[in-house]
Structure 1
Amino acid sequence: MNSMYNNIKLVEGIYSPINSADVLLSLIADKIKFHNLQILSSKNEDDPNVIHAKKRIAELKESRKLITNLIIHARNQNFHMKIDGTVNIELFKPMKI
């Protein structure tokens, strides 16, 4: 691993609406679960990590609604869905406060 920045292809392909739902909604559910665990593990509601986790959960729920609507539309119109999901990872050292 020579680079401090990497792109990893997480999802790639053409899927039926039902398979798209499995892939996309599972990813979102796992991220919501991750953030809920962060909230539960904190003892302080004012913790910046808790505030961020709550914000991300709200954003992910909105994304889930959008994706669900796209899947329903694709199913109703006999479409398939092309999904291309890349994760960008950058290594860095955090600044000390």
Structure 2
Amino acid sequence: MTLTDQKVKLMEGTFTPSEASDILNIFIDKKINFHKLQRLSIIEQNCDDDTPHLYSRMDELIKAKESIRETIMEARREGLELQIESDIHITLVKK
């Protein structure tokens, strides 16, 4: 059951390849580290839990990071900038 919805504009603009690389790599690296800490916390509580969903999500993020790296390299080769837009949708839900 949805209690409230919120939309936040996280990022909107044109960036040089270096700026885009910095911004996106920091964001993805933080998200990967978040999942690593989650996994560690779960394993500390239950050493038999191998947290496959967290491994899967980290793999997705690593693949996304590689895809973004290739796009940034192409932008550098072509002398282009990158337009980046990102929204975060937040919904409060009952447990």
Normalising by structure 1, what TM-score? 0.86
Structure-1 residue corresponding to 2:62: 61
Structure-2 residue corresponding to 1:74: 75
Specify the SS of the correspondent of 1:91. Answer: strand
Specify the SS of the correspondent of 1:4. Answer: strand
**Structure 2 Cα separation of the partners of residues 51 and 7 of structure 1:** 30
Specify the SS of the correspondent of 1:24. Answer: helix
Q: CA deviation at 1:51?
A: 2.3
Normalising by structure 2, what TM-score? 0.88
Q: CA deviation at 1:46?
A: 2.7
Amino acid at match of 1:91: L
Number of paired residues? 90
Specify the SS of the correspondent of 1:85. Answer: strand
**Structure 2 Cα separation of the partners of residues 89 and 31 of structure 1:** 17
**Identity of paired residues, percent?**
34
Unmatched segments (≥5 aa) in structure 1: none
Q: CA deviation at 1:86?
A: 0.4
1:6-25 map, 5 Å:
6-25=6-25
Q: Relative contact order (C-alpha < 8 Å, sep 6+): which is higher?
A: 2
Q: CA deviation at 1:67?
A: 0.2
Q: In 1, are the aligned partners of 2:8 and 2:88 still within 8 Å (CA)?
A: yes
